[in-house]
Chain A
Amino acid sequence: MTLLHVDRLTKQFGNALAVDALSFELKEHTATALIGPNGAGKTTTLSMLAGLLSATDGSIKFQKSDRRDVRSLIGFLPQAPKFYPWLSALEFTEMAARISGMEARHAKQEAKKTLEFVGMAEAMTKKTATFSGGMKQRLGLAQAIVHKPKLLLLDEPVAALDPVGRRQVMTLLKEIQQQTTILYSTHILNDAEEMTDQLLFLRQGKLVEQGTLDGVREKYAEPKIVIEFDQIEGARLFKESAPWSMTIEGRKAWLDLSDQAVHMNDIFSSLSAKTYNVRKVERQTASLEEIFMKVVLDS
């Protein structure tokens, strides 16, 4: 079921068009990655959805909203969340819950549970001024989910974290995804591969591609077979004798499967016909990074 319907969303700052007629839908309990280079309009889009910026044109419709202020249905985590340094994690999360409309008697309890969930049980009474980047990100996540939002908006949620912090936050997000809908911006494409049902590629404020990870992969896959030989000579001999066009790089032969009819069986038959001393045969498809380069930078 559709949770959010965005139609021709546009934001103009003076003469600069930051977001250009962006349209997409978010289904319930899905994770959507907003992918694009710096300046593509990711943060502006999230800011409009979060209610921080007003749109120049277009509409944002929440399907399940029976309340006037949809902000109580949204959780938002900026790229580098800033907290009042004189508040503790618990005080901040409780305050966030209460401003979002939670009753006072439930807010503290829910704040505690949420902080425990994000792994901050030990630090919940400490002042936020003493927190590391990873702790701030986890607290940011806690304040974004404490009121159980229908939609969670995350702006580069792990960009500023070290690999350990990144892994922890990604694990949390995958758990959170079971209960809510997530829209997050990223240019760390490994993360998008790890947790996404839908990809939205932005370039200069425009949506240049969208689809599921598998769908986009299929479209831009450019499947290849890579054969690695023991000797450079093996690769050269294979190229001379095989009927397919290929590229040789040192001991490796690359067969592009997208523009010719090549079957694995034929390759193995050809390889076994002579003694090439093959070290490895591998089928490769384009990584998301390669798709990103193709879609976002070449379009």
Chain B
Amino acid sequence: MLLAVLSGFLLAAFAPLLTRMAGKSIGWLLAVLPASLTVYFASFIPQIQGGDALLIEYTWMPGLDISLNFLLDGLSLVFALLISGIGTFILIYAGSYLKGHPNLNRFYVIMLCFMASMLGLVLSDNLITLFVFWELTSITSYMLIGFNHEDMDARKCALQGLFVTVAGGLALMAGLILLAVMTGSYSLHEILNSSEALGSHGLYTAALICILAGTFTKSAQTPFHFWLPNAMAAPTPVSAYLHSATMVKAGVYLMARLNPAMSDGELWGQVLMLFGGATMLVGAYFAFSSTGIKKVLAYSTVMALGTLTLLIGVGTELAMTAFVCFLVAHSLYKGALFMIAGALDHETGTKDITRMGGLRHKMPMTALFGCLAALSLAGLPPLFGFIAKELLFEAVLEAPFWSTAATLAAVVSAMLVVGVAGLVAVKPFFGKPGNTPKDPHDAPLGMLAGPAVLSVIALLFGLLPFIPQNAVLLAAMQAVYGQPIDTYLSLWHGINLPLMLSGVSLLAGIGLLTLWPRLQPGLYAVNTAASRFGPEAGYFKVMEGITHIASWQTRVLQNGVLGMYLLIMVAITFGLTGYTLITRYGLHLSLQLGDSHFYEWGIALLLVVSAVFASSTHSRLGSVASMGVLGFAVALTFILFSAPDLGITQLLVETLTVILLVLVLFKLPEFVNLSSPFERYRDLTVAVFAGVVMVLVVLATLDIQYFESISSYYIENSAPLAYGRNIVNVILVDYRALDTLGEIFVLSLAALGVLSMLKLKAEDQHKP
């Protein structure tokens, strides 16, 4: 299992090499991995069919309670099958769609990484691991949306998607941690199996808000839906994969996964229904009023995501049945339609559906599968989409609350979706031939394989719904519902209210479709005018605000005057230390100078004199030299109080410091006194203050001892345990070796910083 999840990352490492070697057939070659993963996951069907959950355990960081455990039940298996199954066709499709693209190798690397992250996300049992994979999908999808990185627009859209989903991801992390605090476990199956009622827990609302902030942004719920249509800047294989079946469904997955644990609070259902319903309507409306074929599909995905959220919110047994069916149906037809859209774009040279028409003569196969998938989208029998839509109507009709509003919303959106399905199937393939930039042909095999298989599966599932139902769907429904479900999927339910609603929405949808050429320009104008107040405008306002704050704080805090930095750091550090010292300990001056020797007085005098000289002289060289004297005097102190190691180190460091300073010194301009007297007295005050506080702290540490000094332990144990008599060295390289390791890394970073600055300067000088 571990290998299955991580194999995508492994293959990604070899993808560039394979792309170079395999040439044109690379898509087919790489597709072997997801295809075999599909078979592998399918082999688990018998084990989880009855609603059991498999837990496959791998330890990762036991000390931090982070495991690589995988939870395989109906829900995660459905997702795993969708991810690897659709992934197979996407890889084949991409090989054909991006044929000869100079960055094809990079595309496959990121795509495989994305696939592996997505598998990890839906299979992880541990919340932290889940979150890691969650963020990996955000990052890889950022790179995929911005794949055409030379296009300014693509970069902007990719960044927008990243900001929205990662901001939500941060909230999600907080939410998952709160969830773990509430339940006392980071393991999903323990959380789901615990009998505790979370709804009455004090942290419930906070956890709910945080988790939903994460899932709503990821799954493009209103008002965060705007990033998804913009993400259509990605190449079509990416849209077909990320924005139909996988990444945007991650949020839906998590909501479904946590549903049994979270749904006992009333808030859960209400919030999900509210946002889901709103998203459904917004998505359906914008899908109907757009002209770019990918935008139409993207908004209809928003609609589908809203519907799924709504169904989780309804929360009844029937709603869960509808949820799982709608999820699978949507993944099948939307994946197929996106690939068809890409084929149209590829063959005709335009994305604008108003310019396409009558293509069924020139692209018969593309038209056939496109229409099949669109029928499923419209929810017409005998496709699987019909079953899903009927169940949706049934579920909202029987919703425990807000039933009328939800039904109304569902019917309106179904109506609009019929229109949308018409837009993507009828408009391009039927009617008068359009005027397209390229002379279209049927798409090549690689680009047709995906739509063909997916739409035929949608047809088969519709005709024979008991096959998927018995295989995994029932188990998935139970996983979402949290209790056993007994249901039977069928195409014909008799003449009932849902069927009538379907009929009404179909007729209204056809009506809308015929009106579309007249309605669309008006709707477009309204949308453009309204977009100034939309959520996307809010996003830009927020980003602008962040930039303003950043430049303001840089101006104030990072103004480049080193003296100021020092002043602030010293003042704050010693201010806080002094405050703590005075409030906690008070002022106790107990100095016993009786047993001091004359040479100690000598060294002290040397220290003071050299410090005063260093800060008052006008000669830089003199200042450096007296700093050196100061350092040597400190070294002498160490030696006097029998710390030879410290003494030697101090001597060497002082020597080298003086040398380094001298090297730098010759590059500096003439000494000029730039600071005003006020500034100098301010600096003096801060410096003296720091010195006084330090003296008080040292005196206080001599005076109080909260616990026994650890040095006796070192003295006793350093030779027998660590085979060394030099305690300082034993501490450095053995007892606290990790600290030292960290320190040499810090040292290296500092050195690299200096190196790059010197290099930068050298390059500056070479410039003409």
**Co-assembled chains A and B:** no
Q: Which residues in B have some Cβ–Cβ distance to A below 8 Å?
A: none
